[in-house]
A and B are shown apart, each in its own frame.
Chain A
C-alpha cells in the first residue's frame, strides 16, 4: 500500500496529544482550535445521545477522544466549558449500565481529573459517583469508583479536615444505611467508612453512628461487616499507624552511600527526600498525639444499642443468621456490656442452652459470656450458669481438655464477678488441682489463687494460704459486697504529699523558724508556688542549691527495734493500719484542696518511678507488683477471645503436622539428600557471594604451589628463621596491609 503524502504541519495537527500539549502551553493562541474541537465534542455528544446503547465502536472511540481532550484543557477555558462537567455527570449517571466500558471509565476518570484541576468540587463529584457505586452491576466499575472516591476523600482531607464535605458524605452514607435495611447496598457505606476510619480521616462519632445503624440492618452481609468494624476496626487503625511510623531512615547510612557510590543527580535527590522525611517525622513526633477514641467509646447510648442488637439478632427465634454471624454479634453485645457495664438481664439466661461441650465453637461462646460479665451483674443471674458449666464440663468423666476449658471459663467469669460462686461448688472445683492432667491442674490452681484474693472466706482453711489467712485475721481483707467500688485515687499522690511536707520543713529550717509551725506566712507560700509553676524553673532552682547530704542515723538505729519486734507485732500492725488511714486522708486532702501544677505532676512521675524501684527490692512487694503488671497486659478495652479460655497451646497435645513444623524450623530445605555444608554452599553460590580465603587456598592449582614447596625444602636455616620471624611480625601487626591504617 502506498502511503498518502501528508504535509508536515497537517500530520502534526491531526494528533490529539500534540494539540492538547499546544493548548495547555498557550491557551490564548489556540483558542480557535479549541473552539473547533468544542463544536466537534458537541456534535459527537449529539450523535452519541441519539442511540447511546447501540453506538458503533468508532463513534464511541471518537467521543472518548473528545472527552479526553476537553477534560485535559477544561481549566484553560472555564467560560466555554461551563457545561462540560454537567454533561459528563449526566452521561455517566444516566447511562452507566449500558455505556461501553472504556468510555464509562474515561468519563469517570475525566470527572476526577476535573476535580483535581478544581473545576468542580469534591461534594459534587462524590455525590455523582456514590449513587453509581451503589447501583452499578459491573465489578470492575465498582472497584474503580471505590478507589476514586476513597482517594478523593483522602486528598480533600489531607491538608486539613474538610468538615463540610465529611458531613455531607456521612449524611449520604447514613441515609443509605437507614433507607432500606434489607438491601445489601449498605455494604458500600460500611466499606468506605471502615477504610476512612482506618486511615484516621474520620475519627468522630458520626461514622460510628453509621456503623451502628448498619449493625441493626436485616442483611447478613451488612451485619457482619458492621460488627467486624466494631470488633476489629480500632486494632486495624493502630496497626496501620505503627506500620507507617516503623520505616525509619538512617540518614548517616544514606550519606555514607552517597560518598561511596557515583555522585549523580538521582542520589542527591534521594538524599534530599530522606532529609525531608526525617524532618517531617521529627515534627510529627513533637506534635501532641491526636486523641483518638475507639469506636466503642464513641457510641451514643450503648445501652439501647446493645439491647436492640440482642433482641433483634440473638433473642428471637425468627432470625435466620448463621452461627458464625451470631457469634460475632454476641461478641459485640458482650463486649459492649462488659466495657460500658450495661445491664441486660435476659442475656445471661439466653446463654444457658449453649453451654454444653458438644455445642459448636463453645469456647468462643464461653469467652463471650465471660466478657459480658462485670461487677454490677446480679450474682443470682450468673449462679445457674456457673453451675451448669461445672456440671457439663467439669467432671471426672469428661475429657481433660473439656474440664480445663470449663474451669478456665469459670475463673474468667468469677474474676469479673466473684460473688457468683457458691462455697460448696468452689470447694469442689478447687479439688481439681490434684488432677493428673496439667491443663486441668493449672486451671484449678488459677481459680484457687483468684479466690485467695477476692473471697478467701469461701475456701477451706487449709486452702487459703498464708497471705489470705493473715489478711483475714487482721481484718484487712474483706470480701467486697455487691456494687461496692474501690476508692480511687492518684497513684503516688501520698509520696508527693510527703515530699511537699519535707520541702516545707526544710525551707522553714533555713529561715530559722520551728519546723512544725502550722501557719506559715502567706507571702512565703505564694513565692514557692510561683516558683514551682513551671517545670523548668523548678529544675534550675534545684540545680543551684546545695545538696543536703544527711548522715544516715536511721540505719544504725535499725537493729535495735528489730529485737523487740516479736513482742510488739500486733501493736505495730494496728499502728500501721491507723497510719494508712491517716495517709489516705491526707492524700485525698492534697488532691482536693490544691491544684496540681505541671511541676507537681513531673515530680509525681519522678517519685513514682523511684518508689517502684524501691518496691522491686522487697520480695513480698515484688509479687504484688508482678501481679499488677500481669493485669496491665490485658487492657479492659480488649476483648476476651476463645484462646484465653482454651488451655495454653503448649499444654495441649501437638498434632503431627505441628510437630513436623516445629522440627523443621530453622533448618535448610532438604529437597535432595546432601550434607548441610553442601546445601549452605549452594545457597551461598546462589546469593552470589564469593568464597572464603581458606577455600581459595584449597582450590589453588597444584602446579602453582609446586615451586614454592620445592624452594622451601632448599632453604637454609637462616632463611627459614627470617621467614618465620616475618610471619610472627606480620601477625602482630595485623597482616601485610596492617589493620587499621
Chain B
C-alpha cells in the first residue's frame, strides 16, 4: 500500500504529453532503437580484382560453376542462358568438353525452379549429339530420379529431358546396364501400373487424381514410353559381315567408351535390374517376364478412359504388337535362371 503513490505516478506518465521546446531536439520515443553503427573496415566476402577482362574460357567456366552451384535460381538460369548462347554460336565454344559439362549440369534436372529446368532443356538441345551419346548412362540416372520426383512439375519436365535423350541416343539407352529394366520400371511406377500387386482382392486403389493436367501428363508419359519401347523392340537387321570389320574386331582399337563394359570387370555384381540387355531378344524376354502383363492391363484401363491419353495408349498398343508380335516365350534357360542358381 505504501507504494501506491509511486505507482500512480508511473501510470500517469504514460498519458502525459511530451513537451516540445524550441531549439531542442525532439525527445526519443520509448521504443526507439539505435541502428547506427561504426566500423573501421567493410569486409567483402570474396573479391576478384583484375585489370584485364576475363577471357572467354574463364567466363565459360565461371558461368558453368554458377549454373551448377549458385544458390540463387535467377543466377542459375542466367548462367545457363549464357552457356546456351556460347554453345549455339558458330563454331560452338566449349572449352571443357560435353562430358564434363553434362556431369555438372545433369543434377539440375531436379532443380526446384521451373525457368532453370526449361533453360536446361534448351541447353541440352544445342549440345552436339555425337558427343552427348557417351554420357547416356549418367543422364538416364538423373532422368529416372527426376521422373520419380515428388513434385509433379519436376517429373513432368524430366519427361522432356527423356525425350531429348531418346532423340540423341536411343540405341545406347536400351543397351547400357540398367537402361532397359530400370527405366521401364520407373515408367510403370510413375504411371501407377503397379508391378507387384497382381490384383490382391477386389478393389485396387483408385488413381489418386484425374485432373486435366494429370491426364495430359499421362498422355505424354505414354507417348514417350511408346517411343522408348519402339527403340528397344525394333527389329534388328544383321549387318552384312565384311572382312575388314572382322579383322578390326581383333586388332583395331575400340572406339566406343568403355568397350568391354559387358564383361563387368570392375563393377559390383549386377542383378537382373542392372544387367545389360544388348540384343532385342534378351530385351523381349525380360520385358515379357516382368512388364508385359502390367503394361497391357494399364493400356486397357487408359483406353477406356479415352481422351488424349486413350489415343496415346492406342499408339502404345500398336508399338507393343509390332515389337512383341514375333516373340514366343521360350522354355529354354535364360540369364535369370543362371542368376538364381548363384
What are 30 A-B interface contacts by the 8 Å CB criterion? A4-B114, A10-B151, A10-B152, A14-B150, A16-B150, A19-B150, A30-B205, A31-B197, A31-B205, A32-B189, A33-B208, A35-B189, A35-B194, A35-B195, A36-B189, A37-B150, A39-B186, A40-B145, A40-B149, A40-B150, A42-B144, A42-B182, A43-B141, A43-B142, A43-B145, A43-B148, A47-B142, A50-B138, A62-B110, A80-B196
In the complex, which residues 97-118 of chain B have their Cβ closer than 8 Å to any Cβ of chain A?
107, 110, 114
Decide yes or no whether B88 CB sits under 8 A from chain A. Answer: no
A699–B1 Cα distance when bound, in Å, is 11
Extra 10 A-B pairs, beta carbons < 8 Å, given A35-B194, A59-B107: A13-B151, A29-B205, A36-B190, A37-B148, A38-B189, A40-B149, A43-B186, A46-B141, A46-B178, A80-B196
Whole-angstrom distance between the Cβ of B88 and the nearest chain A Cβ: 26
Q: A residues within 8 A CB of B196? A: 79-80
Decide yes or no whether B185 CB sits under 8 A from chain A. Answer: yes
Interface residues on A, range: 20 to 34
Decide yes or no whether A592 CB sits under 8 A from chain B. Answer: no
Indicate with 1 or 0, residue by residue over B166-195, a CB within 8 angstroms of chain A CB atoms. 000000000000100010011001101011
A447–B161 Cα distance when bound, in Å, is 97
A471–B114 Cα distance when bound, in Å, is 107
Of the candidates B110, B189, B194, the one having the most CB atoms from chain A within 10 angstroms of its own CB is B189
Is the beta-carbon distance between B189 and A39 smaller than 8 angstroms?
Answer: yes
A58–B73 Cα distance when bound, in Å, is 14
A13–B197 Cα distance when bound, in Å, is 23
Of the candidates B68, B148, B190, B194, the one having the most CB atoms from chain A within 10 angstroms of its own CB is B148
Is the beta-carbon distance between B194 and A32 smaller than 8 angstroms?
Answer: yes
Is the beta-carbon distance between A56 and B205 smaller than 8 angstroms?
Answer: no
Q: A residues within 8 A CB of B192? A: 32
Decide yes or no whether B216 CB sits under 8 A from chain A. Answer: no
Whole-angstrom distance between the Cβ of B72 and the nearest chain A Cβ: 10
Decide yes or no whether A44 CB sits under 8 A from chain B. Answer: yes
Q: B residues within 8 A CB of A589? A: none
| Chain A contact residues: helix, strand, loop or mixed | helix
Q: Which single member of A31, A37, A50, A79 contacts B141 (CB below 8 Å)?
A: A50
Indicate with 1 or 0, residue by residue over A61-72, a CB within 8 angstroms of chain B CB atoms. 010000000000
Of the candidates B2, B107, B114, B185, the one having the most CB atoms from chain A within 10 angstroms of its own CB is B107
A699–B2 Cα distance when bound, in Å, is 9
A13–B149 Cα distance when bound, in Å, is 11
Decide yes or no whether B209 CB sits under 8 A from chain A. Answer: yes
Decide yes or no whether B59 CB sits under 8 A from chain A. Answer: no
Decide yes or no whether B85 CB sits under 8 A from chain A. Answer: no
Whole-angstrom distance between the Cβ of A70 and the nearest chain B Cβ: 13
A14–B195 Cα distance when bound, in Å, is 24
Q: A residues within 8 A CB of B2? A: 699, 701
Decide yes or no whether A279 CB sits under 8 A from chain B. Answer: no
**Given that A4-B114, A44-B145, A50-B138 are known contacts, is A32 also in contact with B205, CB under 8 Å in the complex?**
yes
Q: B residues within 8 A CB of A701? A: 1-2
A58–B69 Cα distance when bound, in Å, is 9
Is the beta-carbon distance between B194 and A31 smaller than 8 angstroms?
Answer: yes
Indicate with 1 or 0, residue by residue over A563-607, a CB within 8 angstroms of chain B CB atoms. 000000000000000000000000000000000000000000000
Decide yes or no whether A722 CB sits under 8 A from chain B. Answer: no
Q: B residues within 8 A CB of A39? A: 144, 148, 185-186, 189-190
Decide yes or no whether A9 CB sits under 8 A from chain B. Answer: yes
Whole-angstrom distance between the Cβ of B224 and the nearest chain A Cβ: 16
Q: A residues within 8 A CB of B190? A: 36, 39
Is the beta-carbon distance between A14 and B151 smaller than 8 angstroms?
Answer: yes
A32–B150 Cα distance when bound, in Å, is 12
**Given that A10-B152, A19-B150, A35-B189 are known contacts, is A47 also in contact with B208, CB under 8 Å in the complex?**
no
Decide yes or no whether A507 CB sits under 8 A from chain B. Answer: no
A459–B152 Cα distance when bound, in Å, is 102
In the complex, which residues 58-93 of chain A have their Cβ closer than 8 Å to any Cβ of chain B?
58-59, 62, 79-80
Whole-angstrom distance between the Cβ of A419 and the nearest chain B Cβ: 75
Q: B residues within 8 A CB of A31? A: 194, 197, 205
Q: B residues within 8 A CB of A59? A: 107
